[in-house]
Amino acid sequence: MDNQDQQAVAGAPTPALDDAPARLRLRDDAPFESPIAPLADFLAGGNFAAVRLEPGDDARALIPHFGRLKLIEVAFPKFRDGRGYSAARILREAGFSGEIRAAGDVLVDQLGFMRRVGFDSFAPNAPLDPGTVAATLDRFPHVYMKSSDGRPPVWALRHG
Amino acid sequence: MYRYDQYDQAIVDARVAEFKDQVARRLRNEITEDQFKPLRLMNGLYLQLHAYMLRVAIPYGTLSGTQMRMLAHIARKYDRDYGHFTTRQNIQYNWIKLEQFADLLDDLSKVEMHAFQTSGNCIRNISSDQFAGAAADEVADPRPYAELLRQWSTLHPEFSFLPRKFKIAVIASDTDRAAIQLHDIGLQLRRNDAGDLGFRVYVGGGMGRTPILGQVVRDWIPVGQFLSYSEAILRVYNRYGRRDNIYKARIKILVTELGIEEFTRQVEAEWALLEPLGLDAPQAEYDRIIAQFAPPAFDPAANDDLDLSDPDFRLWVEQNVHPHKAPGYAIATISLKPRAGIPGDASSAQMDVIADLAERYAQDEIRVTHSQNLVLAHVRKSDLYAVWQALEAVDLATPNLDLVTDIIACPGMDYCTLANARSIPIAQKIAAKFENDIAEQRDIGELKIKVSGCINGCGHHHAGHIGILGVDKKGEEAYQLLLGGSGAEDASLAKILGPGFDENGIVAAVDRLIAFYRSARAAPDERFLDTYRRLGPAPFKAAVYG
């Protein structure tokens, strides 16, 4: 069935591919660049200020170490794997205020959700169109539920 | 009924604009089909065998006359003049053209409707009891809580890429008309000795390849905290539900693999962290929504008598009309299982008639049932005859509710890419044997036959008193026969009786089952299901296979 759908747009121009990941960062502080340790290495006691969580890693393992962490990168090997959304929100709920970066198969249509759960930087495999990014992040005037971005849910607006 | 305020409308409008933009980017090839697929699915758009299929959300199965008239308009303008009401109380259209889709969404949004989250690996449309607000046995109307869930789950940022789809049903009585034990979360509203409302929470029910009944994860959660509790369940599922195998990705598998005790422990631990975050809506929001579901002003002087001198009307009343909690009123079920019909289908003209009747006689409310019928929940008894006559005129007054011809069937291989076999013709052939003799149907009594065209079980075959499952057997359609399922408060899973059949064989087998049941029942009012439960499968097997 998907083949039929592909044919519907055959002949349309293919967008240029850029090998270099295009970063998107929504923080005011200076970007932090240093080696990013896998979770096991980080917990083993290496002197790291940045760590990478894979989808199966438990974000709560980092809670005792927030004091020395500047950046937590959450891996999205496949955009359909939504575990990273819970990881980001758990980190924010536990009080982490450093950078949380979504890295990998990060698509523009996920940015709104990612922003809400607490991601504030993005390292997508493929570059994102700035216009589409802006439209996506600005899309919804209201939200129904609390998350980690401080936006008031509509019930708070309704009842002041 | 719930009406949108400026916030609801603004969110729907933004969502429609977002999807139009996504479709445009897909058509410009800026996103791949693989990337587009979850986006269109979360907007209810499937690609089926012949065309796009659109599933429009009907939250908790309640809609107004105006909304029903719009559904008729959609069928007329964008489809082939009919729609198909589904087992999750939604409606789907089978012949949608992508280039007209934006206009269609605009039309829907004019009447506070949309197609969000009717598909995809997200929290789906919330389902509920079709008799809500009218049933004498409910502790309160469950729909305000379903609406709270609708809002909480709409565009939930953490739970839009779940391991698999997620279905929630809410009821408020001991009689289960929504099959809550076959949902990912089933919520039963109850009142405790202090008069407070709370939920019993079932988790991990489901059909499909691995049918499992839901288990109680909490016997009591106060209504004021059920959203944060649901959030805790979803988070445990999102983090630990299996993602390595699509057939093991539903929450039922997680609950089974962990065991209910360990699963409960994890949910409670998560909830202990989430509850203090103030995720639950305040009482004022509960009050605002509950007020919108306030019962209509029932006339205390409404005549409670009913003239049943017309025998055909009497038949319909006895079979399709239920008692209402208000004296002088009744609940009328409109059968979408007419002679030679397709289960759940309604034409534009029929939808228009139903919309008119709802506005004129039924407080402007229509309900969709998970058995693919429709309900007018608040009809004055003195108006029932007029309603029946109007329904009769458009072939909507078949007096067969819960009888052998009131069959659930999925679209099957006539429409669906997943199907291994056709479902609709099987339902029609079985019904054809009985549909001209309503007295015989009534003698057979309550009998729920449910037909699925593949293992995914959209036709609820595991919840059928008689379940039929279409399979592919070396390139030929074949049908397995299952007995003993129930989606009601006595929930149970149907089990395979024996070897499968071809199309004519399965129809004949059902015939033999019914003949045996009529000879073996202990009393005329012992249901097929109860006879099966009393005797076990052996004599039924002997009757079918000889």
Q: What is d(CA B254, CA B236) in angstroms, rounded to the nearest whole number?
A: 9
Which pLDDT belongs to residue A1? 32
Q: Which domain, by its residues, includes A39?
A: 30-158
Are B153 and B127 spatial neighbours (Cβ–Cβ below 8 Å)? no
CATH at A95: 3.20.20.70
In a domain, A93, yes or no: yes
Longest dimension (CA), chain B: 67
Amino acid at site B281: A
CA count, 13 A, side-chain hemisphere, B247: 7
Q: What is d(CA A50, CA A73) in angstroms, rounded to the nearest whole number?
A: 7
Q: What is d(CA B248, CA B254) in angstroms, rounded to the nearest whole number?
A: 8
Do B97 and B158 belong to one domain?
A: no
Decide if pLDDT at A16 tops 80.
no
Contact B15 A140 (CB under 8 A): yes
Decide if pLDDT at A10 tops 50.
no
Q: Which residues of chain B have a CB within 8 Å of the CB of A146?
A: 277-279
Do B100 and B225 belong to one domain?
A: no
CATH at B378: 3.30.70.3340
Which pLDDT belongs to residue A20? 41
**Dihedral, CA atoms, B314, B359, B346, B308, nearest 10 degrees?**
0
Residues of chain B with pLDDT below 50 are none
Which pLDDT belongs to residue B98? 80
Query: Between A and B, how many residue pairs show a Cβ–Cβ distance under 8 A?
Result: 132
Do B235 and B204 belong to one domain?
A: yes
* Nearest residue in B to A14, CA atom: B29
**Which ranges of chain A would DSSP assign to H, the alpha helix?**
2-8, 39-43, 83-93, 111-117, 130-137, 154-158
Q: B311-320 vs B384-393: helix axis angle to the nearest 10?
A: 100
Are B342 and B414 spatial neighbours (Cβ–Cβ below 8 Å)? no
Decide if pLDDT at A92 tops 80.
yes
Chain A CB within 8 Å of residue B200 CB: no
Single out the residue of A122, A133, A106, A107 nearest to residue A24, CA to CA. Answer: A122
pLDDT digits 0-9 by tens, B289-326: 999 999 999 999 999 999 999 999 999 999 999 999 99
In a domain, B294, yes or no: no
In chain B, residues 26-55 whose CB comes closer than 8 Å to chain A = 26-31, 33-39, 47-49
For residue A21, what is the DSSP state? P
Amino acid at site B250: R
Q: What is d(CA B111, CA B9) in angstroms, rounded to the nearest whole number?
A: 10
Q: Which domain, by its residues, includes B496?
A: 408-545
Q: In sequence order, what DSSP letters do the residues of B308-341 get, joined into one string?
A: --SHHHHHHHHHHEEE-SSTTEEEEEEPS--TT-
pLDDT digits 0-9 by tens, B404-420: 999 999 999 988 889 99
CATH at B424: 3.30.413.10
Q: What is d(CA B444, CA A17) in angstroms, rounded to the nearest whole number?
A: 67
Q: Which residues of chain A have a CB within 8 Å of the CB of B49?
A: 1
- Write the burial class of residue A13 (CB in 10 Å: 0-12 exposed, 13-18 middle, 19+ buried): exposed
Residue the block writes with tokens 């002088």: B328
Which pLDDT belongs to residue B176? 97
Do B157 and B242 belong to one domain?
A: yes
Mean pLDDT, rounded, for A140-147: 98
Q: What is d(CA B448, CA B453) in angstroms, rounded to the nearest whole number?
A: 17
Which pLDDT belongs to residue B284? 98
Q: Which residues of chain B have a CB within 8 Å of the CB of A147?
A: 157-158
Do B318 and B282 belong to one domain?
A: no
SS (H, E, C) B216-263: EEEEEEEHHHHHHHHHHHHHHHHHHCCCCCHHHCCHHHHHHHHCHHHH
Q: What ipTM does this complex have?
A: 0.94
Q: Which residues of chain A have a CB within 8 Å of the CB of B158?
A: 82, 85-86, 89, 113, 117, 147
Query: What number of helices (H) and strands (E) belong to chain B?
Result: 17, 20
- Count of structural domains within chain B: 4
Single out the residue of B231, B234, B268 nearest to residue B251, CA to CA. Answer: B234
Which pLDDT belongs to residue B234? 98
**Which ranges of B407-451 would DSSP assign to H, the alpha helix?**
424-434, 438-444
Do B459 and B428 belong to one domain?
A: yes
> Sign (positive/negative) of CA torsion B368, B373, B379, B383?
positive
Do B68 and B26 belong to one domain?
A: yes
Are B340 and B89 spatial neighbours (Cβ–Cβ below 8 Å)? no
Which pLDDT belongs to residue A7? 33
Reading the block at residue B133, the tokens are 């607000």
